[in-house]
Chain A
Amino acid sequence: MKLVPTASQTVGPYFRIGLEHLCANPAAKGAKTVTVRGRVLDANREPVPDAMLELWQADLRGQYDSQPESANSRGRAAGFARIATADDGSFAFTAGRPGAVPFDGTRIQAPHIEVLVFARGLLRQLITRMYFPGEEANAADPVLQSLPDDRRATLIARGPSSAAEILEWNIVLQGEDETVFFAW
């Protein structure tokens, strides 16, 4: 018999007490890193100062560090990061560049970072993805290509090229340019 998963509740305004210990963004190793800056905005485009992002991504080879033995002496595996927004709703993180990831036997997914959004006001986390600008593989990415044409751009960070060291990406919780969020 299946058990019913426990219901979600909001992370609330005081999550830093319990969750900030993982918020340090360890400097990504290796030369191939990217810094992403942005803001979390509400329906009135007001900044959300009490949001938290969790990132999950593959390494440059497209592999996920999901094996128990890989949790290092500090107790955490690579590929995961947690970031709280600042008073002005801004966030910034530096990540190793992810590689392309398998989709099924034949197709691949373009490099992307899975992003979970938690905040006061969100009774359940939101799930979205960030893709890279100017990345050729975007045109064949099965998830990106499944989205309506007029909403796809909300998942692609802004920057001069796929190799840019600094990218910008906002998360808009509601409104005309609302970020694409996924059912899960």
Chain B
Amino acid sequence: MPTMPVIETAAPGTQPEYHYPPYVSSILRSPRKPLMMLPHTLTERTGPVFGHGIVAANDSNLTAQHPGQPLGERIIVHGRVLDEDGRPVRDALVEVWQANAAGRYHHRVDQHHAPLDPNFTGCGRMLTDENGCYRFKSIKPGAYPWANHHNAWRPAHIHFSLFGAGILSRLVTQMYFPGDPLQPYDPIFNSIADEKARNRLVSRFDLDATEPGYALAFSFDVVLRGSMKTPFEAAQ
């Protein structure tokens, strides 16, 4: 009998609302009719699993995917993926993408007139280990302007995509950097009403995890919805 995630509704303010007018793109793309109740059937309590065949050698080293070194501050980002009971989520697929040090994405739609870096694509992926840990090397992404409002700038961030035990544990989020002065002005960051929940998206500078003479390190733990209780525990 496979264990299946038990999912509870999010506490108020800890997740963004779909309709958040300060983030202009949400206005025409957010549903306005009531969301319907979805019983957690077998469909919702299962989800895809991924194996090591999906990850290649340099997928967790974004600085080593081209012949040369990318420009920018080298960083190590690491953390643990946990369920709501604090248990490690093993073999969770973690996908990351980000702008380069100048704040430009390697994407045809990004027209910000900052330089592309021929040695940096800005994407990576990995599976968590038996302790739920992940770790990758990259360069610190730059801030960049966007068209949301006058003089809008996104704070530096790395996009994260994670798969947990079931499809309802699925999470796409963004990791921010400590001490970034742009965070108070960013509608995407501030779409999370609860201040503690919002600040948990800010990584922690981690001196112990730095590589002396080589790279700074930031720590970012992720909690996925659900808990891997056994059916017996769930019935208690």
Cβ-defined contact, B51 with A76, below 8 A: yes
B54 touches A54 (CB 8 A): no
Tell me, yes or no, whether A64 is within 8 Å of chain B by CB: yes
The verdict on A112 contacting chain B, using a C-beta distance below 8 Å, is yes
Question: In the complex, which of the residues B18, B31, B201, B223 has the most CB atoms of chain A within 10 Å of its own CB atom?
Answer: B31
Chain A residue contacts of B227, Cβ below 8 A: 2
Interface contact B7-A184, CB-CB below 8 Å: yes
A9 contacts B54, CB within 8 Å? no
Residues of B within 8 A of A5 (CB): 10, 14-15, 84, 171, 223-225
Chain A binder among B41-49, B67-75, B177-185, B206-214:
B41-49
**A102: shortest Cβ distance to chain B, in Å?**
6
Contacts of B85 in A (CB 8 A): 2-3
* Contact (A123, B50) CB under 8 Å given A6-B171, A180-B36: no
A146 CB-CB contact with B under 8 Å: yes
The docked-state distance in angstroms from the alpha carbon of A127 to that of B172 is: 14
Chain B residues near A61 (CB-CB < 8 A): none
Cβ contact within 8 Å between A121 and B25: yes
Binding site for A on B (CB under 8 A): 2, 7, 9-11, 14-18, 20, 23, 25-33, 35-39, 41-44, 46-55, 82-86, 91, 95-97, 99, 105-107, 109-110, 121-125, 159, 161, 166-168, 170-174, 188-189, 191-192, 196-198, 200-201, 222-225, 227
State the A residues within 8 Å of B (CB): 1-19, 21-22, 42-44, 46, 48, 50, 54, 56, 58, 64-68, 70-77, 79-80, 101-103, 109, 112, 114, 116, 118-127, 129, 142-143, 146-147, 151, 173-174, 178-184
